[in-house]
Structure 1
Amino acid sequence: MTLVFFIFCQKNFGQTSELEEAKKAIAESNAIYFKSYERNEPKLFTDRYAKDACLMEPGKPIMCGEDVVAEFFRKSYAGGTRSGEFITQEVFGAGDGYVVEVGLLKIYDGKGKQKDNGKYLVLWKKTPDGWKMFRDAFSSNQ
């Protein structure tokens, strides 16, 4: 019985530790995400995503891969996005090496005027390069 309790505690401790690690990495990645628009640096943007990431934009089919992520950056930059912010509301474990982030987003143009706001749901994946966005679903409130 003591051994079972010890194993259970160790496993839960590891999950909590991984969740805290993920939360920290998500906050750091989110802080960098919109800097890519401020600097017009697509690589800074695409580095937030796993190599096998998929975007789930409103009104479009699921599209996957590095080229899709890079093209999303180009189109949104050309559309006037220059900064924004993520407001994480919750992060919870989804299984070994995965966490889910739920939040709100705001998007601004080059003059600092809010051009959109919405919500998002991101499945993060622990990769050899750290925590990366694996599935990114978002939609506008407008």
Structure 2
Amino acid sequence: MKNVLALAMLMAITLISKAQTNTDPLQQARKAIEASNAIYADLANKNDGSILTRYTDDACLLPPNSAPVCGKENIAKFFKDGPKVHVKFTIQHLYGDASTFITEESYYEMTDLNGNKLDEGKVMVVWKNTADGLKMHRDMFSSNKPVSK
């Protein structure tokens, strides 16, 4: 009886420790994406090109009501001298296998530096797993506000 109990305890300990070391790849990706999203506006606000560290070399922005903006040079122009804002992203869903591409579906809320709400909307980002970690490969966003006439 003692042997059976000891064996059961060892099996339980093994299963618990294995569960703690085998983390879900999408959970790891979520942590990396949340960390990137948390500093996104700060990098854009620097206006020094550091925002480009979040994107792949062949990335494209897909902004509302305009043509795609592709390549680091054009993305840098897009962000150059943009408004200084804070952006909070809330991930709704992640899709993919986490080994090559992950699609992020999120909501955003944008405020000015004093905390006044400027906009809210939705974001769809295709993240690419690169040698340097997850990078934004396609970045599509649009406001929830109606288009002004």
TM-score range, shorter chain: 0.7 to 0.9
- Note if 1:66 corresponds to 2:72: yes
CA contact (8 A) 1:42 1:73 kept: no
Partner of 2:144: 141
Percent identity, aligned pairs only? 37
Pairing of 1:21-40 with structure 2 (within 5 A): 21-38=28-45, 40=46
Q: Which moved more, 1:92-101 or 1:55-64?
A: 92-101
Q: What is the TM-score of this pair, normalised by structure 2?
A: 0.74
Do the aligned residues in 2 keep the contact of 1:94 with 1:100 (CA within 8 Å)? no
Compared with structure 1, are the counterparts of its residues 139 and 99 closer, same or farther at alpha carbon in structure 2 (3 Å cutoff)? same
> Which position in structure 1 is the counterpart of 2:52?
46
Aligned to 1:11: none
- RMSD between superposed Cα atoms in Å: 1.9
Deviation of the 1:62 alpha carbon: 1.6
Deviations 1:26-69 (A, max 9, x none): 0110111122245x244331111111100101111222100122
**CA distance in structure 1 between the partners assigned to 2:98 and 2:90 by the alignment:** 23
Normalised by the size of structure 1, how large is the TM-score? 0.77
CA shift digits 1:99-137 (9 cap, x unpaired): 000010111113221111110100000011110000001
Gaps spanning 5+ residues in structure 1: where? 1-15
Distance 2:78 2:95 in 1: 27
Structure 2 residue aligned with 1:125, among 120, 124, 128?
128
Query: What are the ranges of 5 or more consecutive residues in structure 2 without an aligned counterpart?
Result: 1-22
**3-state SS, counterpart of residue 49 of structure 2:** helix
User: Aligned residues, how many?
Assistant: 123
* CA 1:134–1:97: 2 relative to 1, 3 Å: same
In the alignment, the residues of structure 2 paired with residue 55 and residue 141 of structure 1 have an alpha-carbon distance, to the nearest angstrom, of: 18
Computing the radius of gyration from Cα coordinates, the structure with the larger value is: 2
8 Å CA contact retained: 1:81, 1:108: no
Corresponding residue number in structure 1 for 2:26: 19
Tell me what 2:12 maps to. Answer: none
Q: Measure how far apart 1:94 and its partner are.
A: 5.6
Contact 1:81 1:107 in 2 (8 A): no
